[in-house]
């Protein structure tokens, strides 16, 4: 199961609560021995493909690029890819946030999903890289303005897992050198896109990011 010597603390899922569908998704709550994790789950019938989306240290349901996450969740679910947005329990803890994503992958697995793409913004870039390094289900990782701290395990991603790194050239929070560093140590196949004049949230290039990430995930999970 693991491609990394670092062992995460154990998380035990004790109960799952699901609320009725609203705005295209269900609110799912996993009750665990380490606290509750909330998901927005966008289902896709009879699919084996899924995507997980995480934000930064701000926590909550934050999304970069002018509502990128809910837009893509809706679009991809209509194209046969289920989506799960994760709200971290402890958005400043890298280890706990990786656990949240791993719990999300377990939830998708319980729905019959076998192939997964992970997308993370800022702090979430390191979160999804770490989660991908310990899962055999992940086929694609997308980082948006990622931090470099905690991302060195990108060199340990399974060979079948590809990475796309996106960063703005005028990021005032995390310099594009972060993504360049991660790109340098990642194995092929890999891709780096730098958007001229875009800041940390990538709002200036929201439509371009939407199209690129949409097409990338569709291609890698086909």
Of 136, 161, 147, whose CA–CA distance to 54 is shortest?
147
CA end-to-end distance (rounded Å), the chain: 23
Structural domain contains residue 88 = yes
Structural domain contains residue 98 = yes
**What's residue 8's pLDDT?**
79
SS3 call for 20: coil
What DSSP state is assigned to residue 25? B
Strands across the sheet containing 190-195: 13-18, 26-32, 35-42, 82-87, 49-54, 115-121, 138-144, 162-168, 190-195
List, for residues 197-213, the tens digit of each pLDDT value. Answer: 999 999 999 999 999 99
CATH number of the domain residue 119 falls in: 3.40.50.1820
pTM of the model: 0.95
Rounded (5°) CA angle 88-65-37: 15
Structural domain contains residue 106 = yes
List, for residues 117-126, the tens digit of each pLDDT value. Answer: 999 999 999 9
List, for residues 45-104, the tens digit of each pLDDT value. Answer: 999 999 999 999 999 999 999 999 999 999 999 999 999 999 999 999 999 999 999 999
Structural domain contains residue 99 = yes
**Adjacent-strand bridge partners of 41:** 26, 84
Average pLDDT value for residue range 150-162: 95
Structural domain contains residue 2 = no
Structural domain contains residue 18 = yes
Distance CA 141, CA 79 (A): 19
For the chain, the domain total comes to: 1
Distance CA 88, CA 36 (A): 9
Rounded (5°) CA angle 5-148-128: 60
Task: Name the more confident of 196 and 9.
Answer: 196
Q: Which domain holds residue 134?
A: 13-220
Structural domain contains residue 205 = yes
Structural domain contains residue 7 = no
């Amino acid at each position: 199961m693991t491609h990394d010597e670092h062992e995460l603390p154990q998380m035990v899922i004790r109960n799952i609560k699901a609320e009725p569908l609203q705005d295209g998704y269900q609110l799912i709550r996993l009750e665990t021995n380490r606290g509750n994790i909330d998901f927005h789950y966008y289902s896709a019938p009879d699919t084996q493909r899924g995507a997980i989306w995480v934000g930064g240290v701000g926590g909550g349901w934050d999304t970069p690029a002018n509502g990128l996450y809910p837009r893509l969740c809706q679009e991809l679910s209509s194209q046969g890819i289920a989506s799960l947005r994760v709200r971290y329990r402890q958005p400043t803890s890298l280890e706990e946030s990786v656990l949240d994503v791993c719990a999300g992958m377990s939830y998708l697995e319980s729905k019959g999903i076998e192939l997964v793409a992970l997308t993370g913004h800022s702090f979430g870039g390191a979160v999804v890289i770490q989660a991908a390094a310990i899962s055999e289900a992940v086929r694609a990782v997308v980082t948006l303005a990622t931090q470099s701290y905690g991302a060195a395990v990108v060199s340990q991603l399974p060979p079948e897992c590809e990475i796309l790194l996106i960063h703005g050239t005028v990021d005032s929070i995390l310099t594009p050198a972060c993504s360049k560093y991660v790109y340098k140590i990642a194995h092929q196949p890999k891709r780096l896109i730098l958007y001229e004049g875009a800041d940390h949230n990538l709002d200036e290039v929201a439509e371009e990011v939407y199209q690129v990430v949409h097409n990338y995930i569709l291609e890698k999970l086909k």
